[in-house]
Amino acid sequence: MTPRGLERADVSIVAGGIIGAVGPDLDEEGEEVDAGGLHVFPGGIDSHVHFNEPGRTEWETIAHGSAALAAGGYTAFIDMPLNNLPVTIDGPAFDAKLDAATRSSVIDFALWGGLVPGNLERLDELVQRGVMGFKAFMCPSGIDEFPACNRHVLGEGMQRIASLGSILLVHAEDPERLHEPRGRTARDFVRSRPPGAELDAIFRAIELAAETGCRLHVVHVSTAEGTVLIQQARERGVDVSGETCPHYLLYVEDDLDRLGGLGKCAPPLRTAADREGLWRMLDDGTLPMVVSDHSPSTLALKQGDDYSKLWGGISGC
Ligand SMILES: [Zn+2]
């Protein structure tokens, strides 16, 4: 499968497992593997996973998560700065994760750093070490060690990240628009995180990106309208992109009756109209990428009577 479509071809693999050439009837030295009748795809890249190592390896290890990706045809991942401990917000934490991933990943990888209140002076050491960019939360992350950025911190962070030539990824939900669930069911949880919270936060993040000139990427967009906001900003010249996840493309709020805690994530699953809208925008190229936002925990953390207390995160690799 090539950018031109499906072709009958040979694939030449050179030293280091690198693809040297793709074309009909290649005449190369060395061992030949007959893959006749099979399809060869480019390896997938999952730029949004939470592999929990070091620190929460009872939830999952990098060895396990990366093996799951490999089984699905993925050859690289970029790991988020949480839910591992310590969270990846300074050089030493980066070194610890690099060590762990080098030891245990079965595929290629890169790491995201974190922007949190108080680590502005640590961003450049993370860039020097090679982070692909930074992730920030506009609302509580669910992990105490990784607090949210208010408007002020986000603005300062964007300025710094722009000057470093890096990129900021935001979890966009406005904390002012979120409220405590009014009951213990999945529906109560969904109601507590309305689509408007996502839209307000995306709008504000785009405003700050336009002011500071910081490249911006909105993670796990759950609504069709959120994607439209991003597209409109792009048309105005703001350097912003977005992504969605398989769960927003496959499931809607009603599926939570069946999925229970396994379907809990934030932002929550939305409506059929959102799902159809996201598919349309994926199809026409408005939405450039789908990532897993793989965020596993122990099964026990996904079970219980009070939905609001369950771990939020879907095991997606
Ligand atoms: Zn995530």
Q: From CA 134, how far away is CA 113, in angstroms rounded?
A: 5
**The pLDDT of residue 8:** 93
Distance 160 CA to ligand 1 centre (A): 23
Range with the largest mean pLDDT of 11-15, 17-21, 222-226? 222-226
What's the rounded mean pLDDT across residues 121-136?
Answer: 98
Distance 50 CA to ligand 1 centre (A): 6
DSSP alpha helices (H): ranges in 10-143? 62-71, 91-104, 123-129
What's the rounded mean pLDDT across residues 261-289?
Answer: 96
Distance 316 CA to ligand 1 centre (A): 11
> Residue 17 pLDDT > 90, yes or no?
no
Q: From CA 197, how far away is CA 295, in angstroms rounded?
A: 22
Q: What is the reported pTM?
A: 0.94
Distance 235 CA to ligand 1 centre (A): 27
Cα 219–Cα 68–Cα 281 angle in degrees, nearest 5: 35
Distance 245 CA to ligand 1 centre (A): 10
Distance 48 CA to ligand 1 centre (A): 6
Ion ligand 1 nearby residues (CB, 5 A): 293
What's the rounded mean pLDDT across residues 183-199?
Answer: 97
**The pLDDT of residue 201:** 98
**The pLDDT of residue 82:** 96
**The pLDDT of residue 173:** 98
Distance 40 CA to ligand 1 centre (A): 29
**The pLDDT of residue 3:** 86
